[in-house]
Structure formats: structure tokens, C-alpha cells
Structure 1
């Protein structure tokens, strides 16, 4: 019998056994953002493709890394396929974020300071422990990252060699090593290697379908960061799922679509004109719109304060209270 064919009674019995076993875990990966988890029905689900899109510089990689850190910290493995940022730079963000989260210091260890500790060439025999120890919270942050570092796999991916087969083989190796499916992060989808003879739309379609198949085969959630097309980057335009670059299959195949926007770019004009500081404080917030959610309600809009200099968002977000618009019309 085809192993992909499930008898309904077998599925019900499997769920019942899982619920009765205190040691078992539901096939849901919390994101570490409680309000987002509540809107998604607990978090990211096994066998799903989750797209994260937004304007350049909005913090998509940082947001995805924060979800990855939470998963690894909770005891689950993570495969982070990075096409743009090397492993050291990702770990610099992670250490800075941990320092900010664990310290009440008014000026927490930032990414630039961690980078300086990584790259300093003073040749005085001081290791990372001693260098980070010069900063408040540095040792605690390094200790925190070290505690889950053996579960966080960073794959230095390239557009010429990192194919769907390479990604699948990597995920399989990690699954075998840990005995449990990993959270998979692809940063980003349009960079995955596909046959050169295909047009961009065909390439993106093949990669999107392949990542969805991978999530189903390994029973894991896949987070794929997606680039925007030119229209979605126009000044005053709010990016939507239709603006993800390459193919309509992106929104069709995905189980969850999250769009990140700078709040100052999408809030209604009257909030900018009459609000405190002319809405300047809105720039510190990122609005995450759940454009699609197969496991629950779509259309929710939640916001998180950005601390990108410390490689993180404040996890405790809030529902957007202001009116948002699809586009801002500028007048002289």
C-alpha cells in the first residue's frame, strides 16, 4: 500500500495516542511571539510552507532568526539556509539579542559591539569569552547561545549550488541526527538554485512547490523569506502577497503568508498629522499582517517594536490600534 495513503481511523488513533502520552509534543512550533502564535493557532505547523515577505531593511532575517532561536532554545533543531548572511554574522545577531533579552541594562550589547569582539585583531590572546565579558550581559548572552548552538545548523547557501535536493539532504541529515524534524528557514526563496533554462516565474514555481513538498515529506514547518517585486517597493505602497516576486504559486502554495511593513509607511495619514511627534515613533514598529492562514483567521494585523541594532524584535507585541491604508498618496 502507498505509504502516503492514510486510513482515517489510523489517523484518529495516532492523534489519540499522542494526546494520552505526556511526553509527546503536538506538531506545532511556537514562533516565540505570543500574539502571533495566538493568531496562528499555536504557531507554525508541521508540513506547512510559511512565507515571510516585506520591504528591504524591515528586519525579515532578524524576525526569522528570532523564531529559529526560540525553536532551538526550546529543544528543537533548526536548519537555517542563509544565501546572504554568513554564519558569524547571524551568530552576532543572536548573541546581541540574547544580551538584550536577559539584561535590564539601559544600553544593551549591540550587534556592532559583538561584531567588533568577533573581528578584533589586537592579538593579545583574549578569546571570545574575555572580549564579550567587557560588556554588560556579554558572558550571559554567549552562554545562552552556546546552550542551544548544537541544535542550530547554519547552511552557507549559494545560488549556484544550493538546490532543492541539497536542502532536502541537509534536512534529512539533521532529522537523523536528532531524531525529530527541524524547523527549516530559507533566506531567501528566490535565491534557491533552479535550472538555468527556466524563466523566473517557472523557477520560483518549482522552488515553491519543492519547499512545500519538503515540508510535507519531513513533517516540518518551512519558513521561506520572499523578495518583493518592483511594484511592492514603490514609495507609499503597502506590500501585499501579490507583490511577492516571481510567481502566483507563492501565495497559492503557501499555508501562511506574513507581510512585514514599517508602521510609518502604512498608517493612515491623520495619525501622522495629528499624533505625537508627527508619527515619528511609528518608525520603531513593524506591522506583521497575516495575509493567509490555512489553520485559522486571516487578515490579523499585529505589531512589534524593532530593536534591529540589537538583532531582535520585542516579542511581546500588540494588536494594531490605528487605521492602516493600502497606499499613501503624497501631495506637495
Structure 2
């Protein structure tokens, strides 16, 4: 197997008494979108900033293309592009000026005009930073992270604050960037974003990796039951409840029957993985034809709950971690 392009082993980082990253390990293969998913405050940003050589680790090893970024961060600056949580540029600088300025930091930069076109920024090339929308600022920050022709791009909380349409547009741009051959580390607290974009991911909670794999592997690996929601016509609801209650009493595959909150016609049937196989014949035997039957889709939120014992809730930012939102690309540092 080829050597991972990024390898993190037993990473630890503290800020005084606060342990931001306790014991984080993962490896990223060339050309994939690798997700670092977790609630705010879990240690995600600290992890990637340490990986990029922007912070000094207290323990563990971090390698990019085999180079220890803690010992020699300058050795990877030309192959690593970083988009931090917030873009901060001078209000009066235009999109084109910013790209050309950052291009000057590199020996072999990308073509600014090509980046403008790829990220749908050409119509805004002469617009000042202060006049850009949130989505346009995020696209500019991606462009600045890519201006050095990096092999790896770290995109940190890329779509925070964007409306749903702008978020989906940005997802399409990320996929477009990966298609050019760039390996992407995507830091996010959005479950849907991770499921949509990531080839593989780690879920981090309280500075520790609690799960790792492809989104589908993690979801498929969940043990426990399933839930099926049945919607009846109004005149069939009461008879449906009675028949399903009888089914729950006599069938080991069915564990519970309960009305769905906020609905007068829907009933949730919970049970084992085979609950649907018991439910459908029972409805047919009772001559009950539902208006709708749907299985409740499991998600990465269920994975988080299974591994931590609590619901997935966004919290505060990485506690104790000082931030530097003025830095958009690693190569921009002297």
C-alpha cells in the first residue's frame, strides 16, 4: 500500500489545563476527501492547525508526505493550502488583487484567472472584499488556499454561516477541486456535509477519535434495531393501531409501536433489523393498505450517539485555543 499523504499518530495538544486534543490518529490517502467531523469544541481545528505546523504539539507525530511538520513546517508549505474558519482580508482589496497578491508568495502559483473561473468568481474579480456575500468570501478563501498549487487543501468549517443553497453550491465546488487531483481535509460539524462529501472520515469528540471509516461503513456498522413509519388513511388509523399493537405482542421482531409526534395518522414501529419483514405480512393479513411506509434512515448522528452515549449537539469553539483568522494560506506565512 502506498504511503499516506497525511499521517497523524497519537496527537496531543493542551492549552494550560485544557486538553484540546487528547489522542488523535488517522491517515489520509492521496486524492480523497477526508473528513474530520465533530461538534464545535471537539478539537478539530486544533488538530489541523497542528498538522499544518501552525501550532506546536505536546505529543505524537504529524507527517505530510513523510515530512514531520512539527520539525520542518517550511518543507510542506508549498504543498499545503489552508482555509481557516474565517476569511479576513482588507475591506478594500478586490478579489483579483487578493489572488495576485497571494500568488506572489509562491514559486509556481496557479493561474489566478483559472481559479476565478473554476470557483465562479470571474464576475466578481473587481469587487472589494467588504462587498462580497458570505458564499463569495468562502469561494475566495478556497481560491486563496489553492493559489499555491497545493497537493493538499485543508478546508476548515467551510460552509458555516451559509444558507442552504450556498452550502450546496460550495459542496459542488469542493468536489470540483478534488477532481483536479487535490487531496482535501474537510473539517466540519455538519453531519450532512460529511455524509455528502467525504470518502472517509474520523469523528472526534472531546479530543479523541471515537469512530473512523467511510460514512456508509459507519452507518452500516451500527448495531440495534430499525424504525418503520406507517401512515394510514384517517379512517384506518384506529384499526391500524390495534393491529400493530397485537403484532408487537406476538412477534419477537417488533419491539414497540407508538404514534409519531405531531401526526394524527403516522405510527412508528420499532424492532430488530428484520422488523419490516414482520410488518408487511401483518398489514396484508389485516387487509390494511397504508398510504405510506418508510424506513427511518440512519445517519452519522446515530453513529455519534452509539459511540458517545449522547446526542450530537454543536457547542462552543475549541475552548482554550487561540485563533488567527487573518491567515488564509499556509504559504502566506513568512
TM-score class, shorter: 0.3 to 0.5
Q: Which has the larger radius of gyration?
A: 2
Q: Which has the higher strand share?
A: 2
Q: Which has the higher helix share?
A: 1
TM-score (norm 2): 0.34
